[in-house]
Structure 1
Amino acid sequence: MRVSAKADYAVRACAELAASPHGDPVRAEDLAAGQGLPVSFLERILGDLRRAGVVASVRGRSGGYRLVRPAEEITLADVFRAVDGPLVTVRDERPPSLTYDGAAAGLLDVWVALRASVRDVLDVVTVADVVRRDLPPAVRRLAARADAWENP
């Protein structure tokens, strides 16, 4: 699985917003500076997050962006879907809509299992978990596996 720059930047921006004192709005320029992100690309990402109902824009002198819901209620899957669409697709189709014949018939189960495993992580980790550095136990166990980053 490949995590796009867009998804990575979106999660990082949401983490910065979650860390904002009292949930105060944060300007896009400050979000970008806090994470070393290109501001013009981040502004487009923030637009996607706003349209998806993850962040809201606040106008005025002390305006910027803020999370719409508490960080404890926003999963990484919410953020990924807001900027990249469905979590797992095969040729831009969701696995359940695919059919395979003959020797490849078993492949559909692999794609569905892949989708389920991605959801097992991204649907349970919240933006607040990331900010607190306190991931759910099942995710911590996966991250701690000795072979997690080994190349076969």
Structure 2
Amino acid sequence: MISQKAKYALRALLALAEAEEGAPVFIADIAESQAIPRKFLEQILLELKHSGIVVSRRGKTGGYLLLRRPEAITFGEVLRIVEGPLAPLPCLSKMAYRRCDDCTDEKACRIRRVFADVAEATRKVLDSTTIADAIASDKTGQVRQSIAG
């Protein structure tokens, strides 16, 4: 299950992607349109800014913009930024591997084998689905033919 923070981050990025290209969006407008508490959104956008996903502009015509095109931002990348590793078990993490405390033999672990398949399928979907795909799904009803089919 993803956190509320991750949902807010994705909703904020979708709102920025749908904004007029090159036009910054005020944080208050994103917060209001996406029903995200403003202070929490500020923290999330700052995290996304430090990760090179968004950029902010100051002043009367300031606000937030995507730093990269929506086609270049995957759900997996965003989730890793705001939540950390995607793996359901620490022994399956590619970025933060840690042997399970109660494990005596990883290769023989039946639980690990099942969750390895879950982790791989999850990574495949999240790392190939972009913000642009989610926006396009509003028109088609499917996120992407290759994933939904």
Question: Is TM > 0.5 for Structure 1 vs Structure 2?
Answer: yes
| C-alpha RMSD of matched pairs (Å) | 2.0
* Alignment partner, residue 145 of structure 2: 137
* Alignment partner, residue 130 of structure 2: 126
Residues 17 and 42 from structure 1, CA distance in 2 versus in 1: closer, same or farther, beyond 3 angstroms?
Answer: same
Give the gaps of 5 or more residues in structure 2.
none
- Which aligned pairs between 1:36-115 and structure 2 lie closer than 5 A? 36-90=35-89, 93-95=90-92, 97=97, 98=99, 100-101=103-104, 105-115=109-119
- Aligned pairs, number: 138
Give the gaps of 5 or more residues in structure 1.
142-152
Per-residue CA deviation, residues 117-147 of structure 1 (Å, 9 max, x unaligned), is: 1112111110011112152224323xxxxxx
TM-score (norm 2): 0.83
TM-score (norm 1): 0.82
2:27 is equivalent to residue 28 of structure 1: yes
Residues 50 and 138 from structure 1, CA distance in 2 versus in 1: closer, same or farther, beyond 3 angstroms?
Answer: same
Aligned to 2:86, the other structure's residue is in SS state: coil
Deviation at 1:89, TM superposition (A): 4.3
Percent identical residues: 36
Aligned to 1:66, the other structure's residue is in SS state: strand
